[in-house]
Copies of this chain bind each other. A is one copy, B any other.
Amino acid sequence: MTRRLRFGVVGTSAISGRFVAAARSAGWRVTILVGSSVASADRFRQQCGSDALVCGDVGQAAELAARECDVVYVASPNSLHAEHATAFLDAGVSVIVEKPAFAHPAELARAQRLADARGVLLLEAARHRYEPNYGRLADRIRQLGPLSGAQLIFRQYSSKLAAYQHGDRPRVFDAQWAGGALADLGVYLLYAAIDWFGMPEAAHYGAQVLPDTGADACGWGVLHYPAFRVDLAISKMHQSYAPSEVYTADGRTLVVNHVTEIARAELSGRDVTGQELVLDRPADNPMRPEVDFAAALLSDVDAALTDPRYRQACERAAQVARVTLWMRQDAGIVFPGDAAFEQGSDR
Residues of chain A at the chain B interface (Cβ within 8 Å): 148-149, 151, 153, 155, 157, 161, 204, 206, 208, 218, 220, 222, 228-229, 231, 233, 235, 237-243, 245, 247, 251-253, 255, 268-270
Contact = CB atoms under 8 A, between A and B. Distances in A.
A204 B331 CA distance: 14
A233 to B, nearest CB: 6
Contact of A240 (B151, B208, B238): B151
A240 B256 CA distance: 12
Nearest to A148: B237
Given A157-B251, A157-B270, A237 B149 contact: yes
A208 to B, nearest CB: 6
Contacts of A222: 206, 220
B245 A241 contact: yes
Nearest to A268: B241
Contacts of A268: 239, 241
A218 B157 CA distance: 28
A243 B155 CA distance: 14
Residue from A153, A235, A245 with most neighbouring chain B CB atoms (10 Å): A245
B251 A239 contact: yes
Given A155-B151, A157-B270, A239 B253 contact: yes
Contacts of A270: 157, 239
9 contacts: A149-B235, A157-B251, A157-B269, A208-B228, A231-B233, A233-B233, A237-B247, A239-B268, A239-B269
Contacts of A148: 237-238
A156 to B, nearest CB: 10
A222 B220 CA distance: 9
B251 A229 contact: no
Given A204-B206, A240-B253, A242-B242, 11 more contacts: A149-B235, A149-B238, A151-B155, A206-B206, A206-B222, A208-B228, A231-B233, A237-B247, A238-B245, A239-B252, A239-B270
A325 to B, nearest CB: 19
A231 B205 CA distance: 13
Per CB-CB distance, the 10 closest pairs between chain A and chain B, nearest first, are: A238-B247, A157-B251, A242-B242, A239-B269, A239-B253, A241-B255, A220-B220, A220-B231, A148-B237, A242-B243
A231 B218 CA distance: 11
Contact of A229 (B208, B240, B252, B255): B208
A197 B251 CA distance: 32
Most buried by B among A218, A220, A269: A220
A241 B153 CA distance: 13
Contacts of A237: 148-149, 247
Contacts of A243: 241-242
A240 B251 contact: no
A206 B204 CA distance: 9
